[in-house]
Chain A
Amino acid sequence: DVKVTQSSRYLVKRTGEKVFLECVQDMDHENMFWYRQDPGLGLRLIYFSYDVKMKEKGDIPEGYSVSREKKERFSLILESASTNQTSMYLCASATGAYNEQYFGPGTRLTVT
């Protein structure tokens, strides 16, 4: 069975902290994605990766960076967390960029 896991379901961090969100998929997918989900705004793409060490900016990359050192793992980094980054973060993977995406359970991040 297809599986995408995320390192935490809930996370509380202080303003200015460096935050790491990790995502692991076991489907050997080339493409991985990070979204944030806010009420009324749907899913907004932060970054995606189409191969190891390759990344592309999505719609809202400001304040975020990513790392993909291994095919199965895609990390989202908040260099200096701010309160406006409080949100639900969803990771997804897919065989192709426009193919069916498999989502992880999400991480609800609160920055105080």
Chain B
Amino acid sequence: GQQVMQIPQYQHVQEGEDFTTYCNSSTTLSNIQWYKQRPGGHPVFLIQLVKSGEVKKQKRLTFQFGEAKKNSSLHITATQTTDVGTYFCAGPGVAGNMLTFGGGTRLMVKP
């Protein structure tokens, strides 16, 4: 079946450093979504990318969808302690009406 892999699993950064998480799918995706889960919280939708090569920005966050629509990345510029959490990507499953989530990247920021 389809797999959505995320790397790295964990990342420690110093406040002010940049951070990137990568998402790779074994199949072409019609779209990809990104979610953030704060410690002790639940996943919250950040953004959806649909077009090949699409780049979207939300303040310090930059989201990219690969040209082949099989990979995506989330880049945070100058991390802050409020960025702490786990970031998940999710894409449509091969069979049935459902999303397949990546394993998530847990970001820890040292002040």
Chain A residues positioned under 8 Å from B44 (CB to CB)? 103
Chain B interface (Cβ within 8 Å of chain A)?
Answer: 6, 9, 30-31, 33, 35, 41-45, 48, 88, 90, 92, 96-104
> Which 7 pairs across A and B sit closest by C-beta, in order of nearness?
A97-B97, A42-B103, A43-B101, A103-B42, A100-B45, A98-B92, A42-B101
A31 near B97: Cβ-Cβ < 8 Å: yes
Given contacts A45-B98, A97-B99, A100-B45, 18 further A-B contacts (CB under 8 A): A35-B101, A43-B88, A43-B101, A43-B104, A45-B99, A45-B100, A48-B96, A92-B43, A96-B97, A97-B92, A98-B92, A98-B97, A100-B33, A101-B33, A101-B35, A101-B90, A101-B99, A105-B42
For A, the interface residue count at a CB cutoff of 8 angstroms equals 26
B102 near A98: Cβ-Cβ < 8 Å: no
A48 to B: closest C-beta gap in Å = 6
Chain A interface (Cβ within 8 Å of chain B)?
Answer: 31, 33, 35, 40-45, 48, 50, 56, 58-59, 90, 92, 96-98, 100-106
Chain B residues positioned under 8 Å from A31 (CB to CB)? 97
Chain A residues positioned under 8 Å from B45 (CB to CB)? 100-102
A58 near B98: Cβ-Cβ < 8 Å: yes
